[in-house]
Amino acid sequence: PVLKQSGKSSWLKRPKKGDKRLKRIFYQSAFASMRCPESAAFYARKRKEGKRHHQIIIALARRRVNVLWAILHNRTPYAANPLLVS
């Protein structure tokens, strides 16, 4: 979300740029990842913080984007638990 302000008024506006198909793929991927224990724990933690379902799914999608970027940037294969990889 992008914060917009005018005088004493402020509101959040969702950015409309970017590849919509790619955003949808990551959103669906995050939604499907709820079966994974790590994602379920993340979901539960964010729910306790008072976040709404849609906000949490977007946060999960963002985490998946970050993992994909790290894989491509570091040119390493995916490891579910990076601490165990030597």
Beta carbons within 10 angstroms of residue 25's beta carbon: 13
Whether the Cβ atoms of residue 68 and residue 78 lie closer than 8 Å to each other: no
pTM summary value: 0.72
Q: How far apart are CA 13 and CA 21, in angstroms?
A: 20
Going by C-alpha positions, the residue among 70, 65, 71 that lies closest to residue 33 is 65
pLDDT class of 6 with cuts at 50, 70, 90: confident
Domain definitions of the chain by residue range:
18-77
Give 17-72 pLDDT, tens digit per residue: 888 899 899 999 999 999 999 999 999 999 999 999 999 999 999 999 999 999 99
